[in-house]
Amino acid sequence: MNILLLGYGKMGKTIEKIALERDHQIAGRIDADNHADLANLEPDDVDVVIEFSSPESATENITYCFERGWPIVSGTTGWLSHRTEIESLCRDRKGAFFYASNYSIGVNLFFRLNKVLAHFMRNYPSYQVSMTEIHHTEKKDAPSGTAITLAEGVMEHLPNKQRWVNKEPDKALITSTDAVEIESLREGTVPGTHTVRYDSDVDRIEITHTAHSRQGFALGAVVAAEWLVGREGVFGMDDLLGEL
C-alpha cells in the first residue's frame, strides 16, 4: 500500500524503513520544511497516512486527511485537548482514525499490567502512587502521552485519584493529594522509560517499561496502518490487539 508520512523526523524515518521492509511504498514524506507539498498529492495517491508530526500541527494535519478521505494513524502527543472534536469529525466524515499514545506491543501490555496493579492497590491507602517518565531531549511535550495513559489507568481503579499533574522540577513529590504526580525527565537519546511506583513507610512496589529503541513503536504504527485500511470509525490499540 502507499503510505504518506506526515512528520519525517527520527520516528518517521524509522517507520519508513520498516514499511519498505514490509513491501509498502512511500507516497510522500512531509515535514515542516516542505508542508506545502502536501497539496500536490491527489486522493488516490495515498492509501493511508502515518502521522508523527508535532503537537502544534497535529490537529490541522489530521483534519486535512479527513478532507482528502485518507485513513490516518496518529502517534503525535500533546494535542489531546482537541481529541473529542477530531473523533467527532472523523465520524461525521465517515473516515478512519487510529490513535495511540504508544504503538509498542510491550507498552500496551504494560498499560494492562498497570491497571491490574492499580486494582490491587485500591484497598491499601498507605501506599502513595507516583510516576516517572524519561525521554530524549528533543521530545517537546511533557508529560508524555504514554505517561498520561498510565495515569488514566491508575485513576480508573483508585477512587481518590481524580487528576494527574506534572511534578515541578526539583520539587518533592506531594503525598496527600487527589492527583497522580508525574515527573518528566529529558536525558540524552532515551527512547522512553516509564515507571509507576507505590511507596509506603515500609516498602515500595514499582513496575517499569524500558524501550531499547524506536523499532517497537514504529512497527506497531505500520501494523496499525495495515489494519486500518478499509475500515471506518475511531480505533485504538485495544481494537488492534483484540484481533491479533
What residues are designated binding site?
Answer: 29, 75-77, 100-103, 136, 145-146
Query: Given strand 179-186, what is the order of strands in its sheet?
Result: 163-166, 179-186, 128-135, 193-199, 204-210
SS3 200: coil
Q: Which long-range contacts (C-beta less than 8 Å, at least 24 apart) are formed by 87-90?
A: 87/234, 89/63, 90/66, 90/233, 90/234
Give which of 91, 109, 140, 92 is closest to 209, Cα–Cα.
Answer: 109
Please state the residue numbers annotated as binding site for NADP(+).
29
Contacts of 114 (CB under 8 A, 6+ apart): 150, 153, 154, 196, 207
Could you tell me the three cell numbers for 55?
503537537
Nearest-5° Cα angle at 114, 108 to 115: 100
> Where is the binding site for NAD(+), in residues?
75-77, 100-103
For cell 512528520, the residue is 7
Residues in the annotated binding site for (S)-2,3,4,5-tetrahydrodipicolinate: 136, 145-146
Distance CA 113, CA 109 (A): 6
Active site residue ranges: 135, 139
Cα distances (Å, whole numbers) of residue 16 to 35, 52, 105, 133, 140? 18, 12, 19, 26, 22
SS3 content of the chain, % helix, strand, coil (to 5): 40, 25, 35
